Chain A
């Protein structure tokens, strides 16, 4: 890669344009074309952002785990896998945050409270904290290889931890408090246009995620090579100062 090249290619630019078009149409469908819910009124529109964002976060963390596994299992460990894992986790954390914020806003409007100690909410909060921790591990100092190895193990441990936390939180809630709020799993019949808007949201957010990951992992590549080259340049400068050739 030449030093002055950006993070975009013609393919990512086309994808970017497509994502912009999709986001605009999602906004139109979500806010304008789709009808209000009989019970929830306009608050149902939060769903078109809320559900796609947690969906994207799950994809992101799944991708992080897969890339980390591939990184560790290959004999020739390629840092590219690590960078995709890291980029994916960063964007996953962003989308969990979006989903938690939109969810609590919806909860405030529908349940009258920002937060309930529901098993699913609590597990999602743990998911968020766990990957914030993962990102912190990536920032520990050390070589790129150390970073890659540590964070890959972390990502695989998270795969182990998340179901355990989910399971125990479920037990905790089910034994101690009957569901006192609207059941989020209740079968809701969505009308055609609402369902379409929701699917449009899923597609839009997934493509947005792909676009973000492509760019982010290339920024990481640039950061890594900058760090490597920065050291070489500094050594060369010191040598010049000392007059050693």
Chain B
């Protein structure tokens, strides 16, 4: 029982550490969120048609999320490898599975904040309208998709951490893996927005796909993260 408890303490400590670093540096709010917003504006320039924008708003919102996620993941591991912090944790005998869960949770919180901002941007800029059920569905989609993204991001971020050229490598590794999330989250959000006449009820099966993805990578990450960062 005590090991379970100490594990939970580690998870919370790691997550809190990451979030307080983020809170102090304000990178998320001062750099990543504006980046995500400008991407949404650029999409509007590129597509230049309000009808089309409204139709493709879910896809654009999730694309902007994925692009921003790349930056947040880089950032999450820059703070670890900069002073050999991750090695220090390892040397201290901290369980890698717990580190993985803690870092994933911190990443999920940040991504969720971003997604809420992006959803608001889509409503304001693209003229998206939602029913109450639609809003609930969009919310559930964001929670479940974020769970998957947080796990995958931490896993692949850990893989590339500390290596030269990881900035360019991470997108190549991460984007193909999160393709199911893009597909699932976009379809579910389309249902929530009612884009192209989609019914709200059509979204729930896609949320199921997102949940499967999240569970698989949560388990895989907890197992594989140790061997990955082990020096």
Cα distance A157–B160 when bound, in Å? 14
B228 within 8 A of A: yes
Which of B169, B172, B224 lies in contact with A153, CB distance below 8 A? B224
A136 within 8 A of B: yes
Q: Which of A130, A133, A152 has the most chain B CB atoms inside 10 A of its CB?
A: A133
Q: Would you call A160 and B216 a contact (CB within 8 A)?
A: yes
Given contacts A126-B176, A157-B220, contact A136 B169 (CB under 8 A): yes
Q: Which residues of B contact A72 (CB under 8 A)?
A: 227
B61 within 8 A of A: no
Q: Which of B175-217 contact A (CB under 8 A)?
A: 176-177, 179-180, 183-184, 187, 209, 212-213, 216-217
Cα distance A157–B217 when bound, in Å? 9
Q: Would you call B220 and A165 a contact (CB within 8 A)?
A: no
Given contacts A149-B227, A153-B224, A153-B227, contact A137 B169 (CB under 8 A): yes
A172 within 8 A of B: yes
Q: Is the interface of A mostly helix, strand, loop or mixed?
A: helix
Given contacts A140-B160, A149-B227, A149-B230, contact A129 B155 (CB under 8 A): no
Q: Which residues of A contact B187 (CB under 8 A)?
A: 172, 175
Q: Which residues of B contact A168 (CB under 8 A)?
A: 179-180, 183-184, 209, 213
B12 within 8 A of A: no
Which of B163, B172, B220, B228 lies in contact with A141, CB distance below 8 A? B163
Min distance, Cβ B125 to any Cβ of chain A, angstroms: 25
Cα distance A62–B173 when bound, in Å? 19
Cα distance A153–B100 when bound, in Å? 15
Q: Would you call A161 and B172 a contact (CB within 8 A)?
A: no
Q: Which of B95-144 contact A (CB under 8 A)?
A: none
Chain A interface size, as a band, is 20 to 34
Q: Would you call B228 and A149 a contact (CB within 8 A)?
A: yes
A164 within 8 A of B: yes
Q: Which residues of A contact B177 (CB under 8 A)?
A: 130, 157, 161, 165
Which of B169, B183, B184, B216 lies in contact with A140, CB distance below 8 A? B169
Q: Which residues of A contact B183 (CB under 8 A)?
A: 168-169, 171-172
Q: Would you call B159 and A154 a contact (CB within 8 A)?
A: yes
Given contacts A146-B231, A153-B159, contact A140 B176 (CB under 8 A): no
Min distance, Cβ B182 to any Cβ of chain A, angstroms: 9
A132 within 8 A of B: yes
Cα distance A172–B184 when bound, in Å? 8
A120 within 8 A of B: no
Q: Which residues of B contact A171 (CB under 8 A)?
A: 183, 209
Specify the chain A residue showing the minimal Cβ separation from B172: A133
A239 within 8 A of B: no
Cα distance A129–B183 when bound, in Å? 17
Given contacts A130-B176, A137-B169, contact A156 B224 (CB under 8 A): yes
A108 within 8 A of B: no
Cα distance A35–B220 when bound, in Å? 50
Cα distance A193–B216 when bound, in Å? 46
Cα distance A152–B228 when bound, in Å? 9
A243 within 8 A of B: no
B5 within 8 A of A: no
Min distance, Cβ A234 to any Cβ of chain B, angstroms: 20
Cα distance A140–B173 when bound, in Å? 13
Cα distance A133–B156 when bound, in Å? 11
Known: A133-B172, A160-B217. 15 other contacts (CB 8 A): A126-B179, A133-B173, A137-B173, A140-B164, A157-B220, A160-B216, A160-B220, A165-B176, A165-B180, A168-B179, A168-B184, A168-B213, A169-B183, A171-B183, A175-B187
Show 14 residue pairs from A and B whose CB-CB distance is below 8 angstroms, ordered by the A residue: A126-B176, A132-B172, A137-B169, A140-B160, A140-B163, A140-B169, A142-B163, A149-B230, A153-B224, A156-B224, A160-B220, A168-B184, A168-B213, A169-B183
Residues of A near any B CB (own CB < 8 A): 72, 126, 129-130, 132-133, 136-137, 140-142, 146, 149-150, 152-154, 156-157, 160-161, 164-165, 167-169, 171-172, 175
